[in-house]
Structure 1
Amino acid sequence: MISAILLGFLFAILLVFAGKFFKGKYAVLSSLIPLGLFVYFLQFIPEVMGGNIIRESYNWVPSFGVNLGFTLDGLSLLFCLMITGIGFLVFAYTSAYLHHHKYLDRFYGYLSVFMAAMLGLVLSDNVISLFIFWELTSISSFFLIGFNNTQEASRKSALVALGITGLGGMFLLAGVIVLGNITGTFSIAEMLNMSPELIKGNEYYSLAVILLFGAAFTKSAQFPFHFWLPGAMKAPTPVSTYLHSATMVKAGIYLVMRFTPVLGGEEIWNTTLIIVGGVTMLYSAVHSLFRTDLKGVLAYSTISALGILMFLIGMGTTASFTAAAVFIIVHALYKATLFLTTGIIDHQTGTRDVTVLSGLRKVLMPVGIAAIIAAISSAGIPPTIGFLGKELTYEATMHAPIIATILLVGIVITKMLLLWAGFVAGIKPFQGKLPDHLKDTKMPGALMWVPPVILAVLSLVFGIMPFIIEGSLIKPVVAALGGESGEIHLALWHGFNTVFILSLVTITVGTILYFVIKPSAKLETAIGKLEFASPKSLMGKFNTGFTHLSSFWTRVFQNGYLRNYVFIIIFFLIGMVGYTMIGNTKFDIDSSMLSTVSFYELVVFIIMCIAILFTVFTSSRLSAVVAMGVVGLTICLVFVFYSAPDLAMTQFSIDTLTVILFVLVLYRLPRYLKIQDHKMRIRDGILSLLFGGMIAVLALEVLSEPVNTEIGDFYAKNSYIMAHGKNVVNVILVDFRGADTMIEISVLTIAAIGVFGLLKLRLKRTDRVQ
């Protein structure tokens, strides 16, 4: 499985060197990557159907309990097939949609990284590696959404999407750490094998749930974090198709489904999912009525569908798990089809405004057929799989454990509105008379219209023959969620019952709405008047306020004066440490523990004091540097007196180098220091005395504490045995604190690269600021 994940990353790296090959007529060859992966995962269906779970594990950072563990069960297999299957069609579609685009190779690189990250996310068994792949999907989607980076709207949409999903990433990291603390492991498989009482009875259970919900709700565009998804429609159509029908927005759904057996069943879990999912599905379904852009209609209907999935998972029954599993397939098929057909309409006509589109069946017949089938499936009309998904959803809601009647009314209204949205996106552009300005519209190449036709045909095939997916996909998913998969039997016809009557009502009322409510700019303007109260607007106001606060903070505390930075840091340190010391300091210092002051130490102390006073009161920069050098040399002598020659040599080397560097830097500056304000000098003097006094008291307190040599004995005993080093200090830095030292070296390296870049910067005369 790790090879399947790495293949996408390796292909993206290959494009750096062989990108030109995939820009022309050979661009379609890139689709062989997801196709090969799709075939690879298909071979696991018989094994997963038999109830087997395939696992792989590789040591990565075992000292931190982080391994590359991968699990392929019914849930991850379903997502892998969607990621690679729809990915194959999107890759092929892109070769025609972005034909001869100068950055086509770059686009394929972003798309490949995203595909690989999604595969890693759904296959990860370790929650830390899951988080890493989660963040990779956010980063790669940022580049995909902002692919048209010359447009301000695309750049802004990409930043908003990254900001919201990045916030979710922070929630996820905190959540998995809390969960790891509760369970003592980062392995999802081990969590599943633990007693539910062990996890749910923990005091941090609710915190873990809230954090995981924060991650899932932001990624899957749940209210009130939904507004990033409509903005992301600025991306090219292949991005909208791939990210917003089958992959990225489903990542949050996957996260909730994966952890349902671990954390589900409690009131906070189920009730939150039902409420958030219910509000999201109704809110977004209503909003789709007020859109005239085809992508806008599809965006809000997508958010509504994601709300339905959260709603179904929250009910926590076998029937709701079955409905959710089927609806994932339903939504992926019809929504990908509608996005692809919308892209064709936009590509061939130059507009997505549904108010000016009609009669396109006369010039785009195959595209129209695919779109109409997708619209029928979204409406839940037989014989499509959408009808089966709608009936299962109604059946599960009727037997909901709480307020079933209210929930049923909500889901029926949502389905009626989604029928309207599906008809507007899939039927309206193709019915009626063809306008004169669209009569020259031409059919695109087969690579553009064949993918949506394939997806539309699958909606029919799975609807007529649901047994194809019953045992191979649906039952394993329900089993992975903890449901009773033996009770599942999919069929297109369930008899004339209450659910069927509700379906008829939904189709009838939804169709009436379609003919009564026409998309118009007037409606869109009307809903725009309420924009000030929308989550997007409120978040924007919060962002503006935070920006003003940051500006104020910068002006006051980060104003560019080093002396202010030092003052604030030392003042804060004195305040915090001083507050802690008050009431805790005993001042019972045993004077017998202090060594007597020798004549040499007294002389060195007097020299140090004179050098310090000279540094403070001199008006010459170079004199101050020399005096500071004298202070450093006296410290070296103190180290020698106390039998620390290695520290003395280190201090001597650093102090000498520092003095030389200071002299070189200050050589060309004015000879005399600028006299500071008298009050400022007094302030700094008082602060220095307070800081020195605090350090003196701390040192005396430490000396009065009983000596514990356990740590020192450990390093002295094991430095040579474990790290093969005789210098204990070096061994601690390089081996025992290797990770910390590596991070420090990385920071210094990055800083050096930045300095080197500034030194090599050569601005044009017109770009220089005088």
Structure 2
Amino acid sequence: MASVTGLTFLALCLPFLGAIIAPAAVRYLGHNAAWPLALFPALAFLHFAGFLPGIAAGHNVEDGFDWVPSLGLRFSWLLDGLSLTFALLITGVGTLIVLYAGGYLKGHVDQGRFFSFIFLFMGSMLGLVASDSFLTLFVFWELTSITSFLLIGFDHQRAAARRAALQALVVTGGGGLLLLAGLLLIWQITGAADMSGLLRTGGALRESPLYIAALILVLGGAFTKSAQFPFHFWLPNAMEAPTPVSAYLHSATMVKAGVYLLMRLNPAMGDTTAWETILPVFGGMTLMVGTLLAIRQTDLKLKLAYTTVSSLGLLVLLTGFGSDHAVEAAVLYLVAHSLFKGALFMVAGIVDHETGTRDITRLGGLRNAMPLTFAAALAAAISMGGLPPAIGFLAKEEIYGALAQSSPWPIILTIIAIAGNALMFAIAFAVALKPFIGVRVETPKHPHEAPPLLWLGPVLLAIFGLAAAVGSDVWHTYISSPMASAVGGKATEISISLVPHLGTPLALSALTILIGILVYWQLDRARFLMAVVLRKLGPGPDHGFDAFISGLVRLSHAVSRFLQPGRLEIYVTVTFLCLAVMLLVPPVLYGELPAMPSWPDMQWHEAAIFLIAIIGLAAVIRARDRLTAIVSLGVQGFAVAVIFLLFGAPDLSFTQFMVETLSVVILALVMTRLRLSAADRRSPLQMLLHGALAIACGLGFGLLLLKATQAPFDLTLTAFFNHYSKLIAHGTNVVNVIIVDFRGTDTLGEIAVVTITGLAILALIRIRAGGERKLAANDPEVKGATGAGRQ
């Protein structure tokens, strides 16, 4: 078991190891580095594939390492049908993406940096889906946002790429904070700090009065990550990233993280009215918004990006529908989408790489020049369009089988699903056919078939999409059924195959295809109509994001100007004002003022010391220049030192004498070296305010000390230090032992502060002296006088 644990941990770490090695590999191997680098995700894929038989038999893998046992925190992972399927997609598609990137970015000066980023992204996503602990899940959740920021903004010299990266980070990172709050609330409600523990609590979370609050927070994280309306706008803008990133982002990784979270939490948070209302409503809106906006686009990547938005909406709709068939449909469609969308994005990248354009209106007749690419695109489009013999056909049949019911709500959702699937059918074949059939169109580059590193990925993904449907029995046994069991929270067996099933689902599939063919036939007109509608609607959420960021920047500037005006006088005044409030308000509010002591009997020399202190105070207040005020201020410190001496603390008195002497000398030295006005001129109002603050702070400290001295004295520490100073520290002077031994680190910190302050003062003086020398060097009169003196 220990060896399996170690190997699984190593498999989770392999992408991060690849990130470390990638720059050196590219430096020494050049464009050939893609092959050895692809071994990192490939080996992880093989390791996770080894769990398929056991998990298919119902044996989940829960393991990890203790991190902070006292708090119950572990670095733990959970592998069941859901997380294992995601792990296989992340590593399997990731292997193909690494190879594809090796060909797509061949010769790029920053290819090593790109591989590091893609491996970090891969490791973050792999850690997210495998995490059992809430804490590790959140850490990897945010890491996916950070690494996607690096990938989207890879071409950082372009403003559009920087904007898209920032937008993705703000939206998904903000959602991550909502998720953190939601997970902490779930932890508080159920006492479970990990997913496996939460799933064992049954309906405890659903029955809590805080369920709705936890649900909203979790949905905030999931909806922003998986680009649900109205947070969908960041995903198409992420197309500013290189195509390998787009293919990976949309097929197997970050955009499905929100869907993964909803599927993972379905057994614990599902089966409620809120769950089965919010998810279908937002999922249905996202499905329609994504497909309608995709119709408007002419860029191949943007068309595919918007259909990813719609597919994510469909997955959220199915996850929240609340039936076993809907879960089965969501599972089948998630895997199908990963295969056909990854292939189509790679095809779009190949077309752009070999022709120099992705504009569908400037492409045509590429079939003979790029036969392998065309075949892969057509096979992937068949799956996306829901035609046999692809796994997309099985997914669509299950979708209609789950939604086609006689009550009003399922009917509405069925209509939405038909419309969305029909539009996705049209877009799929627009991407797969229009660039390749028809009359040959002149392109910026002479087209030809891509090298193997580019076409290998889409061809294999397209083949897998067909093989999964043809071998559906094996596929369901090891992939679909275990995944549906994990999402549904109970044993589920999927049995759908390519054998035609006459009934409502098949009829709705035929209707979907018919509408899709009609939209494809009138695609140019549909694009024009959508352009008119969007112009009528005006700016959308994307412009709203810019307005939000602009307003946030203006607000931050205003707040900064108010709170940080750059004047030390204001900072010191506010600090002392807060100090006075903290010292005076609580005792008054809670009736904790000390009893006023009687006036003590003092001898004449004791009274003289206090009189000297009062005289020094008056001298400070009446001083007409800064130097006199500094020297007069030292009188207060010397008076306090004498008081310490009178009360039997000679070592403390000596320290006070030294500190006061050094303070006066240093302050006087600084004042003479800096260019300051001789006197401190303040208005009567300022003097009144500063005097009131000084009196308030002094009064507050006085009352606090009186209250402390009137409390019963606790001799515990006194007895401890008296007993152990000699025994442990071998010192008879208890005060010295406390300072040097028991509080050694504290004393070292105080010494460090004094040292740093002295160095800062020295630097300030040297800067001032250097400035004066430069002024003298640039002054002709000084130069002449200096020259005459030398002569």
User: Structure 2 length as normaliser, TM-score?
Assistant: 0.84
Deviation, structure 1 residue 305: 0.8
Task: Say yes or no: does 1:589 pair with 2:599.
Answer: no
Structure 2 residue aligned with 1:70: 77
Aligned with residue 670 of structure 1, among 660, 668, 675? 675
Instruction: Please list the CA deviations of residues 688-730 of structure 1 after superposition, one character each: whole Å capped at 9, or x if unmatched.
Output: 33333344445555566677899999999999999xx998899
List runs of 5+ in structure 1 lacking aligned partners.
Answer: 760-770
User: Which residue identity is paired with 2:434?
Assistant: K
**Correspondence for 2:403:** 397
Comparing 129-138 with 683-692, greater Cα deviation is found at 683-692
Q: Which amino acid aligns with 2:398?
A: L
Map of 1:497 onto structure 2: 503
Question: Structure 2: which amino acid aligns with 1:281?
Answer: L
Distance of aligned partners of 1:527 and 1:70 in 2 relative to their CA distance in 1, 3 Å threshold: same
C-alpha distance in structure 2 between counterparts of 1:519 and 1:649, whole Å: 93
Query: Which of 189, 195, 219 is residue 213 of structure 1 equivalent to?
Result: 219
Q: C-alpha separation between the residues in 1 aligned to 2:724 and 2:292?
A: 68
Tell me if the contact between 1:412 and 1:502 (Cα under 8 Å) persists in the aligned partners. yes
Q: Spell out, residue by residue over 1:149-168, the C-alpha distance to the aligned partner (whole angstroms, 9 max, x if none).
A: 11111111111111111101
Which stretch of structure 1 is more off in the superposition, 145-154 or 484-493? 484-493
Which letter maps to 2:271? G
The 3-state SS of whatever aligns with 1:150 is coil
What CA distance in whole angstroms lies between the structure 1 residues aligned with 2:538 and 2:292? 17
1:194 and 2:186 aligned: no
Between 1:334-343 and 1:173-182, the stretch displaced more is 173-182
Give the partner amino acid of 2:326.
S
Q: Which stretch shifts more, 288-297 or 181-190?
A: 181-190
Q: 1:480 to 1:520 in 2, by over 3 A?
A: closer
Task: Determine if contact 1:292/1:519 at 8 Å carries over to the other structure.
Answer: no
Q: Which runs of 5+ in 2 are unaligned?
A: 1-7, 768-791
Counterparts of 1:596 and 1:16 in 2: how far apart (Å)? 81
CA 714–326 in structure 1, closer or farther in 2 if over 3 Å, else same: farther
Matching residue within 278, 283, 288 for 1:277: 283
Deviation larger for 332-341 or 286-295? 286-295
Which residue, 3, 6, 12 being the options, matches 1:5? Answer: 12
The 3-state SS of whatever aligns with 1:196 is: coil
| SS of corresponding position for 1:60 | strand
User: Which residue among 292, 295, 298 is the counterpart of 2:301?
Assistant: 295
Aligned partners of 1:719 and 1:126: how far apart in 2? 46
The residue number in structure 1 matching 2:787 is: none
Q: 1:767 aligns to what?
A: none
Does structure 2 conserve the Cα–Cα contact (< 8 Å) formed by 1:557 and 1:564? no
The 5 Å alignment of 1:133-152 reads 133-152=140-159
Give the alignment of 1:379-418 within 5 angstroms: 379-399=385-405, 403-418=409-424
Query: Greater shift after overlay, 445-454 or 560-569?
Result: 560-569
Give yes or no for contact 1:368–1:430 (8 Å, CA) kept in 2. yes
Letter in structure 1 aligned against 2:346: L
The SS at the match of 2:495 is coil
- One-letter amino acid of the structure 1 residue matched with residue 356 of structure 2: G
Determine the C-alpha separation between the residues in 2 that align with 1:712 and 1:514.
89
- Structure 1 residue 481, shift from structure 2 partner: 2.1
Q: Is 2:350–2:450's contact at 8 Å kept on the other side of the alignment?
A: yes
Which residue, 23, 33, 45 being the options, matches 1:38? 45
1:16-31 alignment, distance < 5 Å: 17-31=24-38
Over residues 270-295 of structure 1, what are the superposed CA-to-partner deviations in whole Å (9 max), with x where a residue is unaligned?
32212221221112221111111111
Deviations along 1:313-352, one digit per CA (max 9) or x if unpaired, are: 1123221111111111011011101110111111111111
Following TM superposition, by how much is the alpha carbon of 1:19 offset from its aligned partner in structure 2, in angstroms? Answer: 4.6
For the residue of structure 2 that corresponds to 1:68, the secondary structure is strand
Cα shift at 1:34: 0.9
1:107 aligns with 2:114: yes
- 2: CA distance between counterparts of 1:498 and 1:46? 35
Structure 2 Cα separation of the partners of residues 209 and 734 of structure 1: 50
**1:308 and 2:314 equivalent?**
yes
- Return the offset for 1:680: 2.7
What code does the residue aligned with 2:119 have? S
**Aligned partner of 2:46: which letter?**
V
Q: CA offsets, 1:527-572, max 9 Å, x none?
A: 5535754222223223222222222222222111122123334445
Whether the aligned pair in 1 keeps the contact of 2:404 and 2:414 (CA below 8 Å) is yes
Matched residues in 1 for 2:726 and 2:119: separation?
47
CA distance in structure 2 between the aligned counterparts of 1:513 and 1:704, rounded to whole angstroms: 87
User: Which of the numbers 449, 473, 479 marks the counterpart of 1:443?
Assistant: 449
Distance in structure 2 (CA, Å) of the matches to 1:388 and 1:341? 23
Letter in 1 for 2:42: L
- Structure 1 residues 660 and 166 mapped into 2: Cα distance closer, same or farther (>3 Å)? farther
Amino acid at match of 2:560: T
Q: 2:163 aligns with which of 144, 148, 156?
A: 156
Query: 1:134-173, CA deviations, whole angstroms, 9 ceiling, x for partnerless residues?
Result: 1111111111110001111111111111111110121122
- 1:239 corresponds in structure 2 to 245
User: Are residues 1:452 and 2:466 paired?
Assistant: no
Task: Say if 1:486 and 1:295 are closer, same or farther in 2 by CA, change over 3 A.
Answer: closer
Secondary structure in 1 matching 2:367? helix
Q: Which moved more, 1:496-505 or 1:468-477?
A: 468-477
Pair 1:166 & 2:166 matched: no
On the 8 A contact 1:590/1:704 being kept in 2, the answer is no
Correspondence 1:349 to 2:373: no
Distance 1:370 1:22 in 2: 29
- In the TM superposition, what is the alpha-carbon distance from 1:606 to its structure 2 partner? 5.3
The answer to whether structure 1 residue 372 and structure 2 residue 378 are counterparts is yes
> In structure 2, the residue corresponding to 1:259 is in which secondary structure?
helix
The whole-number CA distance in structure 2 between the counterparts of 1:54 and 1:436 is 55
The amino acid that maps onto 1:304 is: S
CA separation of 1:589 and 1:43: change in aligned 2, threshold 3 A: same
CA distance in 1, matches of 2:42, 2:312: 26
Cα 1:341–1:627, aligned 2, differ >3 Å: closer, same or farther?
A: farther
Q: Map 1:682-701 to 2 at 5 A.
A: 682-700=688-706
Q: Which amino acid in structure 2 is aligned with residue 475 of structure 1?
A: S
Shift of the alpha carbon at 1:469? 1.8
Aligned to 2:186: 179
Kindly indicate whether residue 557 of structure 2 is the aligned counterpart of residue 557 of structure 1. Answer: no
Name the structure 1 match of 2:481.
475
Residue of structure 2 aligned with 1:92, choices 99, 120, 129: 99
Give the Cα–Cα distance (whole angstroms) in 2 for the partners of residues 719 and 253 of structure 1: 62
* Structure showing greater Rg: 2
Post-superposition Cα deviations, 1:201-221, rounded to whole Å, max 9, x if no partner, equal 334332222211111111111
The reply on whether 1:60 has 2:67 as its aligned counterpart is yes
1:424, distance to aligned residue in structure 2 (A): 2.1
Counterparts in 2 of 1:436 and 1:543: CA distance versus 1, 3 Å: closer
Does structure 1 residue 268 correspond to structure 2 residue 299? Answer: no
- Taking a change above 3 Å as real, the CA distance of residues 186 and 515 of structure 1, as seen in their structure-2 partners, is same
Shift of residue 645 of structure 1?
Answer: 9.0
Cα distance in 1, alignment partners of residues 727 and 319 from structure 2: 55
Tell me the CA shift for residue 584 of structure 1.
Answer: 2.6
* Counterparts of 1:127 and 1:568, CA distance in 2: 41
After TM superposition, the structure 1 = structure 2 runs for residues 512-591 of structure 1, keeping only pairs within 5 Å, are 512-518=518-524, 526=532, 529=535, 532-572=538-578, 574=580, 583-585=589-591, 587=593, 589=595, 591=597
CA distance in 1, matches of 2:455, 2:262: 34
Q: Any idea what SS the aligned residue of 2:67 has? A: strand
Q: Does residue 250 of the first structure (1) align with residue 280 of the second (2)?
A: no
Q: Which amino acid aligns with 2:172?
A: T
CA distance in 1, matches of 2:515, 2:499: 21
Distance (Å, rounded) in 2 between the aligned partners of 1:721 and 1:59: 38
CA separation of 1:702/1:90 partners in 2, compared to 1, >3 Å: closer, same or farther?
A: same
**Alignment match of 2:367 (pick from 341, 361, 382):** 361
Return the alpha-carbon distance in structure 2 between the equivalents of residues 711 and 202 of structure 1: 47
Match for 1:489: what amino acid?
Answer: S
